[in-house]
Amino acid sequence: MGVRKPEDTRSFALCAHGGAGKTSLAEAMLFDNGNITRMGSVQNGNTVSDFQSEEQKRNISISTSLLTLERKGKTFYVLDAPGYADFTGEMSAAIRVADTAVILVSSVGGIEVQTSKAWEYAEHHSAPVSFVVSKMDRENADFEKVLDDIKSQFSQNALPVFLPIGAGEKFTGIVDVLRGKSYTYKPDGSGKFTEGEIPADLADEAASAREALVEAAVEMDDELMEKYLEGEEVSEADFERTLKTAIAAKRIMPVFALSATANIGVPQFMDFVADYFPSPVDIGAVDAGDVKAEPKTDAPFSALCFKVMADAFVGKLSFIRVYSGTLSSEGSSIYNIDKGEDERISSFKLMTGKDGKDVKEVIAGDIVAIPKLQSARVGHTLATKGGFSGKFPAIEFPKPVYSVAVIAKTRADEDKLGSAISRILEEDCSLTFEKNAETRDNVLSGMGDMHINIVLSKLKERYNVDLDTKTPQVPYRETIRKMSEAQGKHKKQSGGHGQYGDVYIRYRPLERGEGFKFIDSVVGGAVPRNFIPAVEKGLREYMVAGPLAGFPVVDFSAELYYGSYHDVDSSEMSFKLATRLSFRKGIMDANPVLLEPVMDVEVTVPDQFMGDVMGDFNSRRGRVMGMEAHGKLQVVKAQVPLSEMFRYATDLRSMTSGEGSFSMEYSHYEEVPGDIAKKVIAAHKKEEEDEE
């Protein structure tokens, strides 16, 4: 690759709603650049990006794929991120490490839920943005409408640099408004084109588009702006220099028109990337705590691990974005700042899909994979020992919204589950796995049913772990609604030392969320001081399984105010057993009720599905807390009981034809309605009887 420099690097993430053509664009880029001799297709499952078996089986991208190519003396790192809602965390991580976010918008479907999500991530990470209006060869393709929507919903800084020649079946090429040329393509998908003059019917539109670009670009240079306002001609050199600065600063967000499957406009898109997309040097230093990572080859080496993948042949691959410095693989080691561990490295791999090409050295701006790096996890900062001292902020992933309880089919599956799931969790940061102490369920949580199904398939195929699933149990609670008093007296005589404990305890409800409070009001030694801790300990043990339905009892106080003892027969155990008798009677006398967890839910859907979503919330005992309009999308905020939300990811997708997305987090506990509480209690009692 010769001597490489950070200013010759272009890294960008291809992001979109599922089906907008990201993977097809990546494939066309590789083909037109000569990296592959034949274009694969998503439908045939033979693209370079979608190489995992599950991706080929389902015809969708599941994880971010890295492609490396050379064009016009520049190194491209292309991150093809999934567009399906279940894998939105991969999109976030890709945008985080790329220097530019390229957001594809279908010329037919327009802006969809995940399009908006890509924009949100780009805004959050302050990434420069460009838009590709894709699928211009499809019936009903409408470039102008999509451009207007992009401007109104995202930014007025979205300015076209390509104009389409025709649309649908009549889409034959593009106009490059910068160069004032047209490119007319052969209809055979070969990517071969003829350069010519701008068609007469597009001349005015192209001139207007170029003028808008010039006006926005010269704003980046006060002196140039002054000359422009005075009517002086802006030179090509000045325009191109300020155009690049404007793109890096998000003052201009270039908009392209093309078709990846018809292979029209892709070579010009790549040339624009090489000429005008920002390099790491244009982006500048990146914050790493109190330290800045300078995009220079002579700075201390620093990198961020943003992806981990298990490769069938190489083993574990750790994908890193280098932010500063240079590192050679020959006799070198890499230091994991988060773990405090130093590891030898054997090679760096420039990845194109599943294939890697070894390189001996990496520099600022590179995105590469390192084989067999044991300690690195997603979000870890890597450096050389004693060199870079900063730490990059963690990569944020969305919280899981869909959970299943998993049950090993055999003892062998159970034995292998722990190590297998830990490896899967290394790769997938939007996945969680926990043993719920209350319900004793092994709960696997992800972004949707497809996400979970794919994880289960991986566990079976890779690690031969076979699991059944069921709906997780809801972690209900019990509490009381009025005060009660109850004596608990334990007396047993069986020869020798007997057992004697006697307590009087007053139970009172507390405010929701206050937990448990023990009050010692004993006077006159009615209960000896050395036995009082046993009473509190007993209460804490017994409140884990309440008398109503076996769920933990919360938000109450227990005041020990009287009792009696025996000089010989009293013991800690006697008082714990007496406490148990008081607790069960006292709670049942205090009007016990069942509590359920309630979740804060935020749903994003297109306007036309609002009625369905609102009606569905009513059927789930939900309360709508508010609504906000985001362009043609609506954000609905609601509070819904957890018991009603286990299938919501699937139901929302069905309700909105895959266009809805949501997030969910715990809010509070509240009382379960009486009719539902009766069913829960009856089911629990039946379960207890079945276990006996």
The DSSP output letter for 673 is P
Q: What's the whole-number mean pLDDT along residues 617-624?
A: 94
Q: What does the block give as tokens for 651?
A: 């139901």
DSSP line for 210-257:
HHHHHHHHHTT-HHHHHHHHTTPPPPHHHHHHHHHHHHHTTS-EEEEE
DSSP line for 484-525:
EEEEEEEEE--SSS-EEEEEEEEEEE--TT--EEEEE---TT
Question: What confidence category does residue 692 fall into, taking pLDDT thresholds of 50, 70 and 90?
Answer: low
Instruction: Report the predicted TM-score, pTM, of the whole model to 2 decimal places.
Output: 0.84
Q: What's the whole-number mean pLDDT along residues 21-47?
A: 91
Query: Residue 665: which of 639, 635, 628 has the closest Cα?
Result: 639
Q: Looking at the predicted structure, is the pLDDT value of residue 230 above 90?
A: no
Q: What does the block give as tokens for 300?
A: 């201390």
Q: What's the whole-number mean pLDDT along residues 220-225?
A: 90
292 pairs with which residues across the strands?
A: 287
Q: pLDDT at position 50, please?
A: 82
Q: What are phi and psi of 431, to 5 degrees?
A: -115, 140
Residue entry with tokens 């209690």: 681
Q: What is the pLDDT of residues 472-499, one digit of tens each?
A: 999 999 999 999 999 999 998 766 678 9
The amino acid present at 666, given as its one-letter code, is Y
Residue burial 119-146, b: 16+ Cβ < 10 Å; e: rest: bebbeebebbbbbbbbbbbbeebbbeeb
Residue 566 CB burial class (10 angstroms; 0-12, 13-18, ≥19): middle
Contact between 688 and 550 under an 8 Å Cβ cutoff? The reply is yes
The DSSP output letter for 381 is E
Higher pLDDT, 59 or 243: 243
Give Cα 426 to chain centroid, integer Å.
Answer: 14
Q: pLDDT at position 498, please?
A: 84
Query: Positive or negative, the Cα torsion across 545, 546, 548, 554?
Result: negative
What rounded mean pLDDT belongs to the chain?
A: 92
Q: List, in order, residues 6 or more apart from 96 with CB less than 8 Å away.
A: 121, 125, 306, 395
Q: What fold does the segment set 596-675 form as a domain? A: Alpha-Beta Plaits (3.30.70)
Q: What is the pLDDT of residues 382-433, one digit of tens each?
A: 999 988 999 999 998 988 888 999 999 999 999 999 999 998 999 999 999 9
The CATH class of 477-590 is: alpha beta
Q: Looking at the predicted structure, is the pLDDT value of residue 628 above 70?
A: yes
Q: pLDDT at position 683, please?
A: 84
The CATH class of 402-470 is: alpha beta
Q: Is 8-283 a domain of CATH 3.40.50.300?
A: yes
Which of 129-133, 229-233, 347-351, 550-554 has the weakest average pLDDT? 229-233
Highest mean pLDDT (candidates 142-156, 230-244, 618-632):
142-156
| Residue positions counted in the chain | 692
Q: Looking at the predicted structure, is the pLDDT value of residue 145 above 70?
A: yes
Q: Looking at the predicted structure, is the pLDDT value of residue 178 above 60?
A: yes
The CA distances from residue 253 to 20, 75, 281, 596, in Å, are: 19, 21, 19, 48
SS3 category, 434: strand
SS3 category, 309: strand
Q: Report the alpha-carbon distance of residue 25 to residue 10 in Å, rounded.
A: 16
Q: Report the alpha-carbon distance of residue 361 to residue 414 in Å, rounded.
A: 43
Determine the straight-line distance between the first and last CA of the chain, rounded to whole angstroms.
71
Directed axis angle between helix 532-542 and helix 572-589, to 10°? 50
The DSSP output letter for 73 is T
Phi-psi domain of 161 (left: phi exceeds 0; alpha: psi -120 through 50; beta: other): alpha
Q: Looking at the predicted structure, is the pLDDT value of residue 313 above 90?
A: no
Q: What are phi and psi of 549, to 5 degrees?
A: -150, 15
Q: Report the alpha-carbon distance of residue 284 to residue 287 in Å, rounded.
A: 10
Residue 195 CB neighbours (<10 A): 12
CA-based max dimension of the chain: 113
Helix/strand/coil (H, E, C) string of 558-614?
A: EEEEEEECCCCCCCHHHHHHHHHHHHHHHHHHCCEEEEEEEEEEEEEEEHHHHHHHH
Q: Looking at the predicted structure, is the pLDDT value of residue 222 above 70?
A: yes
Q: Report the alpha-carbon distance of residue 650 to residue 82 in Å, rounded.
A: 18
Q: Give the residue extent of every domain in the chain.
A: 8-283, 286-383, 402-470, 477-590, 596-675
Contact between 282 and 248 under an 8 Å Cβ cutoff? The reply is yes
655 pairs with which residues across the strands?
A: none
Q: What is the pLDDT of residues 70-108, one digit of tens each?
A: 999 999 999 999 988 888 899 999 999 999 999 999 999
Q: Report the alpha-carbon distance of residue 188 to residue 185 in Å, rounded.
A: 9
DSSP line for 144-207:
HHHHHHHHHHT-TTEEESEEEES-GGG--EEEETTTTEEEEEPTTSS--EEEEPPPGGGHHHHH
Domain covering 286-383 in this structure, CATH number:
2.40.30.10
Residue 239 CB neighbours (<10 A): 19
Sheet holding 181-185, edge to edge: 162-165, 173-176, 181-185, 193-196
Q: Report the alpha-carbon distance of residue 118 to residue 103 in Å, rounded.
A: 7
Q: Report the alpha-carbon distance of residue 137 to residue 19 in Å, rounded.
A: 15
Q: What is the pLDDT of residues 633-642, one digit of tens each?
A: 889 999 999 9
Contact between 617 and 583 under an 8 Å Cβ cutoff? The reply is no
Q: What's the whole-number mean pLDDT along residues 594-603?
A: 95
Question: What confidence category does residue 542 fall into, taking pLDDT thresholds of 50, 70 and 90?
Answer: very high
Question: What confidence category does residue 1 fall into, taking pLDDT thresholds of 50, 70 and 90?
Answer: very low
479 pairs with which residues across the strands?
A: 593
On the question of a common fold for 8-283 and 596-675, the answer reads: no
Residue entry with tokens 């650049």: 33
Q: pLDDT at position 232, please?
A: 86
DSSP line for 2-54:
-S--GGGEEEEEEE-STTSSHHHHHHHHHHHTTS-SS---TTTT--SS--SHH
Q: Report the alpha-carbon distance of residue 77 to residue 10 in Å, rounded.
A: 6
Q: What does the block give as tokens for 109?
A: 């479907």
Q: Looking at the predicted structure, is the pLDDT value of residue 450 above 70?
A: yes
The amino acid present at 147, given as its one-letter code, is L
Q: What does the block give as tokens for 356?
A: 């890697």
Q: Report the alpha-carbon distance of residue 690 to residue 150 in Å, rounded.
A: 59
Contact between 446 and 90 under an 8 Å Cβ cutoff? The reply is no
114 pairs with which residues across the strands?
A: none
Q: Report the alpha-carbon distance of residue 486 to residue 504 in Å, rounded.
A: 6
